[in-house]
A and B are shown apart, each in its own frame.
Chain A
């Protein structure tokens, strides 16, 4: 099962994660809470060493402020490696600071979405993200 992951959500806020996963529950997903673990998963290291590295998540939804390793570092690592740089990465964060937006696109983020202020809006946003990237959009590979 673990190899058939469609959505990798990297989000440390339990409440937000709960809302979003509820919204995307029809897809196979994995929810990780820190940047380091996310990279371990993607590159099949550490506790995910046994994972088949060839099977990559179809979409990564990434928060920026994360424990251990920030979202921006995760993004950089994924976009730097030839095996992983084609995975679409959607940045979903509360920050609408221009510096953050600029930095993410510069590193190759495929989308940057600011978390809405209400549960409802956030749920809707999560639904739209899954709908668009996993259904509407044609993915590589």
Chain B
């Protein structure tokens, strides 16, 4: 991301430098060409000056020849004049050519040509005079100063022309100087700019290089880290492989377990089947008791009663006693059969739980049973408020019937029998209790006998009963996921506790 601007800047700087160099080169080329031009101009001017001096020199040669001829009238002296005159036209023509492109000298050239022609004409005139033998006239003509005046005029004009040439020369040399100076400045400034660009570039480059170096270091570090990570990964991979192997092993174990479980399951299924069979047998047993056992029992009691009533007179005392025994035991047997049927019925009853008031359930039971056991004194009943619970109402009613009738039964022989019912609110359950001040029992024997079927803590003579009531109570409470226990001591009453879980959705 940061490379592109730098690249752009470098390009920009490069192109800037190129432009500046091009400008310098162009300016320098122009300056050089000017110098060359100036040099050519100088040469030209020099040639003009030389040519002017040559013309004057030829005129002087002509004058020398003229004067010598006049003085001596010897034609030999005319030789310089003749030589000069032979060349002068040619040299004048050259001068014309040299000054052809110099507008400032055009007028001067014309004048000079006229003056030269005039001077040559004058010298020809005097020479002709001498040739005619009229030297005196020639001397007079020269002395009159006409020739000198022309010559002076030529000299003045030539000088003027030389001045102009020098002026032109100066002008050029100044121009060259200026151009050179400007050129110099451009070069300096250009170099300065290029140097700045290069410096900036160098700084940028340095920074870039440093950045790159830093990046490289970073990269190296990252690389090292990466290498480290890779080696860690490799390590992890190895561990993973190990784990994988362990997993495979575990899997095998699980499979093994599964097989075992399946085997167990099969076993369980078999057991379940056996249980079902047993249950069926139990049901058949219970059915048989209901249908087959009760009728013979009724016959036994019925006929023994008939015997003791209708044949009372025919029986002696021992016979009557035996008949009485039969009747009593048949009745007892009947009670036991009914107890057994009641107990077996609990397990088959469905658990249709509803929420109901425990207090409203208990009150009528107390009313119904309080006199059933013929207590010596009216029973003092203390009923604390009871909560609403979620349970099977018929079964819970059976629990209270059994517990309340027990409490009344076992306290029926004490003076001032008292029964107390209440509950404790625990975190997840209600703990109900029923307390009486009756016969109680010895806790030593409670564990084995208290809640067992047909197990009793008292003899039939002391208190009647089948030993099924508390077994039924325990079964109902446990079917409700509750628990039941008791605290008692002989002749100090008993307290029964049972818990029922609070209703949770």
Which residues in A have some Cβ–Cβ distance to B below 8 Å?
A: 13, 15-16, 19, 64-65, 93-100, 115-119, 122
Is B298 in contact with A117, judged by CB distance below 8 angstroms? yes
Q: Closest Cβ of chain A: how far from B345's Cβ, in Å? A: 7
Q: Closest Cβ of chain A: how far from B336's Cβ, in Å? A: 12
Is B298 in contact with A97, judged by CB distance below 8 angstroms? no
Which residues of the partner chain B approach A117 to less than 8 Å between Cβ atoms? Answer: 294, 297-298, 301, 334
Inter-chain CA distance A16–B302, complex, in Å, is 10
Inter-chain CA distance A96–B349, complex, in Å, is 13
Given contacts A15-B303, A19-B302, 8 further A-B contacts (CB under 8 A): A13-B299, A64-B291, A65-B287, A93-B291, A95-B287, A118-B302, A119-B302, A119-B303
Q: Closest Cβ of chain A: how far from B47's Cβ, in Å? A: 155
Which residues of the partner chain B approach A96 to less than 8 Å between Cβ atoms? Answer: 290, 341
**Can you identify 10 A-B contacts, CB atoms within 8 angstroms?**
A16-B298, A64-B291, A94-B298, A95-B290, A96-B290, A97-B290, A99-B348, A115-B298, A119-B301, A122-B298
Which of A97, A99, A116, A119 touches B306 (beta carbons < 8 Å)? A119
- B273-312: CB near A (< 8 Å → 1, else 0) gives 0000000000000110011111101110111011000000
Which residues of the partner chain B approach A95 to less than 8 Å between Cβ atoms? Answer: 287, 290-291
Which residues of the partner chain A approach B348 to less than 8 Å between Cβ atoms? Answer: 98-99
Q: Which 4 A-B pairs have the closest CB atoms?
A: A119-B302, A65-B291, A94-B294, A95-B290
Which residues in B have some Cβ–Cβ distance to A below 8 Å?
A: 286-287, 290-295, 297-299, 301-303, 305-306, 334, 341, 345, 348-349
Residue in B293, B299, B334, B349 whose Cβ sees the most chain A Cβ within 10 Å: B299
A99 closest partner in B (C-beta): B348
Inter-chain CA distance A93–B43, complex, in Å, is 164
Which of B295, B305, B306 touches A115 (beta carbons < 8 Å)? B295
Which residues of the partner chain A approach B301 to less than 8 Å between Cβ atoms? Answer: 117-119
B294 closest partner in A (C-beta): A94
Is A97 in contact with B345, judged by CB distance below 8 angstroms? yes
A18 closest partner in B (C-beta): B299
Q: Closest Cβ of chain B: how far from A69's Cβ, in Å? A: 14
Which residues of the partner chain A approach B299 to less than 8 Å between Cβ atoms? Answer: 13, 15-16
Inter-chain CA distance A50–B292, complex, in Å, is 34
Is B302 in contact with A15, judged by CB distance below 8 angstroms? yes
Residue in B294, B305, B306 whose Cβ sees the most chain A Cβ within 10 Å: B294
Q: Closest Cβ of chain B: how far from A124's Cβ, in Å? A: 13
A121 closest partner in B (C-beta): B298
Inter-chain CA distance A65–B287, complex, in Å, is 9
Given contacts A16-B298, A94-B295, contact A119 B305 (CB under 8 A): yes
Which residues of the partner chain A approach B303 to less than 8 Å between Cβ atoms? Answer: 15, 119
A65 closest partner in B (C-beta): B291
Is A118 in contact with B305, judged by CB distance below 8 angstroms? yes
Which of A94, A98, A116, A122 touches B291 (beta carbons < 8 Å)? A94
Q: Closest Cβ of chain A: how far from B343's Cβ, in Å? A: 13
Residue in A19, A93, A115, A117 whose Cβ sees the most chain B Cβ within 10 Å: A117
Which residues of the partner chain B approach A99 to less than 8 Å between Cβ atoms? Answer: 348
Inter-chain CA distance A65–B306, complex, in Å, is 26
Q: Closest Cβ of chain B: how far from A35's Cβ, in Å? A: 13
Q: Closest Cβ of chain B: how far from A39's Cβ, in Å? A: 20
Which residues of the partner chain B approach A13 to less than 8 Å between Cβ atoms? Answer: 295, 299
Inter-chain CA distance A115–B334, complex, in Å, is 13
Is B334 in contact with A97, judged by CB distance below 8 angstroms? no
Is B292 in contact with A65, judged by CB distance below 8 angstroms? yes
Given contacts A15-B299, A118-B305, contact A97 B286 (CB under 8 A): yes
Q: Closest Cβ of chain B: how far from A12's Cβ, in Å? A: 9
Inter-chain CA distance A45–B358, complex, in Å, is 58
Which residues of the partner chain B approach A122 to less than 8 Å between Cβ atoms? Answer: 298, 302
Which residues of the partner chain A approach B293 to less than 8 Å between Cβ atoms? Answer: 94
Inter-chain CA distance A28–B142, complex, in Å, is 215
Which residues of the partner chain A approach B291 to less than 8 Å between Cβ atoms? Answer: 64-65, 93-95
Is B295 in contact with A16, judged by CB distance below 8 angstroms? yes
Is B302 in contact with A98, judged by CB distance below 8 angstroms? no
Q: Closest Cβ of chain B: how far from A77's Cβ, in Å? A: 20
Given contacts A119-B298, A119-B306, contact A98 B345 (CB under 8 A): yes
Inter-chain CA distance A115–B291, complex, in Å, is 10
Which residues of the partner chain A approach B298 to less than 8 Å between Cβ atoms? Answer: 15-16, 94, 115-119, 122
A11 closest partner in B (C-beta): B295
Is B295 in contact with A15, judged by CB distance below 8 angstroms? yes
B283 closest partner in A (C-beta): A99
Inter-chain CA distance A140–B295, complex, in Å, is 33
Residue in B287, B301, B305 whose Cβ sees the most chain A Cβ within 10 Å: B287
Inter-chain CA distance A122–B292, complex, in Å, is 16
Which residues of the partner chain A approach B302 to less than 8 Å between Cβ atoms? Answer: 15, 19, 118-119, 122
Which residues of the partner chain A approach B341 to less than 8 Å between Cβ atoms? Answer: 96-97
Inter-chain CA distance A64–B295, complex, in Å, is 12
Residue in B292, B302, B334, B345 whose Cβ sees the most chain A Cβ within 10 Å: B302
Q: Closest Cβ of chain A: how far from B6's Cβ, in Å? A: 97
Q: Closest Cβ of chain B: how far from A11's Cβ, in Å? A: 9
Which residues of the partner chain B approach A19 to less than 8 Å between Cβ atoms? Answer: 302
